């Protein structure tokens, strides 16, 4: 399973890369705005320099010709840019053109299995079901992931499933059990994945025992 970080914060990306298991980055206009970025080109280039993995850069255009133009522009910023488009009819039409160009497209804001089926048929490299936002409105976000994995397995689609809108370690665990290809995870949750109170307690006990033994031989 690949781990992407869901952020546009350069320090978080650097820190996550230093852990040794960062496979890519996803951004969106809200994450860019959170970093005070209004013109994303230079920021996308800076992120792409921090990882060899795919960096999803989202278009702001909403009609197909403008999405294609903006997508081609974003893809020209660095070789590891994946063009992120919303899963609308316009986004699907743009995806098939960009995929024909040989570009990687991440179809985002996916909330139904049929949207994900269309994404695969349009030739998207990635599809991003938003589990947290579905949970927020009383649905089961992980059930969507399960349905997408089943459909893609039935037909051998190669589109990779990025579990997005991750809110907890449980989302990551259950996505891994379902065989999702990728989870894109906010930095605070990456930290939670590694932490366990019994690990901290164990380290403290080992150090205390060692200090006691060292004291005894003095
Ligand atoms: C994914 O690519 C999106 O950037 C992200 O996961 C959205 O998550 P949110 O629902 O926490 O905004």
pLDDT digits (tens, 9 = 90+) for 16-72: 999 999 999 999 999 999 999 999 999 999 999 999 999 999 999 999 999 999 999
Q: What are phi and psi of 4, to 5 degrees?
A: -105, 160
- Residue whose CB lies within 8 A of the most ligand 1 atoms, among 82, 105, 130, for a mutation test: 130
Residue 217 has pLDDT above 90, yes or no: no
Helix, strand counts (H, E) of the chain: 11, 8
Sign, Cα dihedral of 172, 176, 81, 64: negative
Separation of 165 CA from ligand 1 center, angstroms? 4
Of 84, 121, 174, 201, the active-site residue reads 84
Residue 218 has pLDDT above 90, yes or no: no
Element (H, E) at 162: strand 160-163
Say whether 84 is catalytic.
yes
Contact 18, 76 (CB under 8 A): no
Separation of 163 CA from ligand 1 center, angstroms? 9
| CA 164 to ligand 1: nearest atom | 6
Virtual torsion, Cα 2, 20, 81, 151, nearest 10 deg: 0
Closest by CA position to 144, among listed 155, 159, 133, 156? 133
Separation of 184 CA from ligand 1 center, angstroms? 8
Topology of domain 2-217 in CATH is TIM Barrel (3.20.20)
| CA 132 to ligand 1: nearest atom | 10
Query: What is the overall mean pLDDT for the chain?
Result: 97
Contact 196, 17 (CB under 8 A): no
Contact 74, 83 (CB under 8 A): yes
**pTM of this structure:** 0.95
End-to-end CA distance of the chain: 49
Separation of alpha carbons 204 and 170, rounded Å: 27
- The whole-number pLDDT of residue 198 equals 96
Question: 102: which 2 tokens?
Answer: 């040989």
Q: Is residue 26 within 6 Å of ligand 1 at its C-beta? A: yes
Residue 180 has pLDDT above 90, yes or no: yes
| CA 84 to ligand 1: nearest atom | 2
Taking the domains of the chain in order of start, what are their residue ranges? 2-217
């Amino acid at each position: 399973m690949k781990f992407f970080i869901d952020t546009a914060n350069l320090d978080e990306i650097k820190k996550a890369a230093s852990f040794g298991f960062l496979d890519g980055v996803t951004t969106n206009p809200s994450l860019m705005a959170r970093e005070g970025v209004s013109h994303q080109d230079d920021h996308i280039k800076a992120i792409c320099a921090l990882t060899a993995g795919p960096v999803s850069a989202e278009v702001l255009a909403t009609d197909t010709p403008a999405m294609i133009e903006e997508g081609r522009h974003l893809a020209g910023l660095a070789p590891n840019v994946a063009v992120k488009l919303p899963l609308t009819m316009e986004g699907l039409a743009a995806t098939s053109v960009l995929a024909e160009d040989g570009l990687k497209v991440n179809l985002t804001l996916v909330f139904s299995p049929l949207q994900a089926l269309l994404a695969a048929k349009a030739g998207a490299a990635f599809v991003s079901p938003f589990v947290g936002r579905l949970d927020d409105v009383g649905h089961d976000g992980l059930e969507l992931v399960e349905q997408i994995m089943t459909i893609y397995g039935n037909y051998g689609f190669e589109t990779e499933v990025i579990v997005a809108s991750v809110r907890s370690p449980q989302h990551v665990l259950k996505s891994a059990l379902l065989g999702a290809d990728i989870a894109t995870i906010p930095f605070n949750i990456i930290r939670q994945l590694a932490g366990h109170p019994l690990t901290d307690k164990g380290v403290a006990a080992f150090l205390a025992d060692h200090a006691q033994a060292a004291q005894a031989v003095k």
